[in-house]
Structure 1
Amino acid sequence: MWKTIKRWYHQLGSPVYFYRFSSAVLPWLLPISVVLLGVGLAWGLAWAPVERYQGDSYRIIYIHVPASSGALMGYIAMGVAGLVALVWRMKMAEVMLKALAPFGAVLAAVSLVTGALWGKPTWGTYWQWDARMTSMLILLFLYLGIIALQSAIRDPRQAARAASLLAMVGVINVVIVKYSVEWLQTLHQGSTLKVVGESSIDAAMKWPLLISMLGLWLLYAANVLMRARTEVLNRERRAGWVRKLVSRPRGI
């Protein structure tokens, strides 16, 4: 198994192999993600039962929770890509770091907006400077900082190194976002959806939430693959395989 993982690692580090791999995966990944996200949202927003204390206002979790989890997972992926880019100087890790940032920033912003909308009927205020809200805002700024670094530095390799350092340091904030409700007293309730152990959320509410989360994660992956493909073509535009690809007649 380790040999297989190692082989995939080296293969996906090749721009040519990655482009071919993404060409095979995207036609399936994108429609599956849209269908799953649509089913999860429709089920949660229209047919999930009403919550005992919050009424229908709780339904925003079917947008808020997937967006929040996607933003956190995306930043962890950027931290890993940054580590690989700095230690092993892998070009595809630099490409993935750049491709992960924009959609992750969008998800972080959606998380903050939906959290504020949920907070008004639940807590009586749109915003409170508690640990989770503040750390999530910092996460958005970290995403924007990485995007700004990559845009401001012209040399792609130097831009990748600077962004990699910021991504790796920012992973600490992801840990704070995740465990702030356990370490500190905040307005947020503890986690009701658990990977390990029994979840306290009702099954009729849990399954549409899980489907929405899976759909959004796959949509994030599809977005990253599309952005990475564009970046690969831009970086490898002088390579023979790219010239052959561009010059190939359409429909063939």
Structure 2
Amino acid sequence: MSWQWFHRLGSPRWFYQKSSAWLPWLGGAALLLLTVGIVWGLAFAPEDFKQGNSYRIIYIHVPAAFLALAGYYIMAISGAIGLIWKMKLSFVVMRAAAPIGAAFTFIALFTGAVWGKPTWGTYWVWDARITSMLILFFLYLGVMALSGAFSREQSGDKASALLALVGTVNIPIIYKSVDWWFTLHQPATLKLTEASTIDPSMFYPLITMIAGFYLFYAWVLTFHTRTMILQREGRTQWVRELLGAPAPAKA
């Protein structure tokens, strides 16, 4: 039964039909959490005793950085599933995830630069964490470029999936860069195996923003995947019926 469900999930038509009911819930929950988190973090969280109010950019920077990393894994895993099980939907998700991940990586780099100016006195340094995040941004762009570099769609899918898989080696480097090398970037404040080093009054709005960002990512990825399904399946009968397009003329 679970194997049948797995293959059914790989059907673009099945996904398109089922996901229409997900969008309102994902969008509504994301909007609620993001609104609460941003108001809580910007208006009610206390001022940092060292950085003053400039630290508040973490409520955008940290969630964006989280999604930049998690989104790459989603893209790479989707590509791997497409390569192994030849599922068309997996390649669609991979292609849909690439520009979204690139956008979150750019936001993380930009907000990090804005935060770095009052903290380090400069917008950019060739810090281990920042440099590896820049490489991540280029990897996203590379996947996007390879996806459209081939005349045959299947060739672009396979090539970009391979690049996405190779690029996963950069993710643990990003995560551990502040521990492996001397770096200006502060160590992680949110930890899975140890107590977080951020005060609860700042921690709870940050967690709220992270949850909101994840839901927003799920909403955007679902919406973009649905759009790409219509583009790639445009010649199929079910898409023509859905869009009200006339049937192709018979020779």
Give the TM-score normalised by structure 1. Answer: 0.93
Q: Which residue of 1 aligns with 2:119?
A: 122
Q: 1:162 aligns with which of 156, 159, 164?
A: 159
Matches within 5 A, 1:1-252: 4=2, 6-247=3-244
Structure 1 runs of 4+ off > 6 angstroms? Answer: none
**C-alpha distance in 1, partners of 2:184/2:29?**
36
CA contact (8 A) 2:146 2:160 kept: yes
**C-alpha distance in 2, partners of 1:134/1:37?**
29
Shift in Å, 1:196: 3.3
Please list the CA deviations of residues 81-102 of structure 1 after superposition, one character each: whole Å capped at 9, or x if unmatched.
Answer: 1111111111111000000011
Shift in Å, 1:238: 2.1
Please list the CA deviations of residues 172-202 of structure 1 after superposition, one character each: whole Å capped at 9, or x if unmatched.
Answer: 1111111101111111121111233321111
Stretches of structure 1 that go unaligned for 5 or more consecutive residues are none
Please list the CA deviations of residues 35-89 of structure 1 after superposition, one character each: whole Å capped at 9, or x if unmatched.
Answer: 2112111111111111111111100000000110011000011111111111111
**C-alpha distance in 1, partners of 2:68/2:143?**
14
Give the TM-score normalised by structure 2. Answer: 0.94
Aligned length: 245
Shift in Å, 1:218: 1.1
Shift in Å, 1:121: 0.9
SS at match of 1:152: coil
Shift in Å, 1:7: 4.2
SS at match of 2:20: helix
Q: Percent identity?
A: 51
Paired residue type of 1:201: I
CA contact (8 A) 2:68 2:104 kept: yes
CA contact (8 A) 2:11 2:87 kept: no
Q: Which residue of 1 aligns with 2:248?
A: none
Stretches of structure 2 that go unaligned for 5 or more consecutive residues are 246-251
Paired residue type of 1:144: L
SS at match of 2:41: helix
SS at match of 2:206: helix
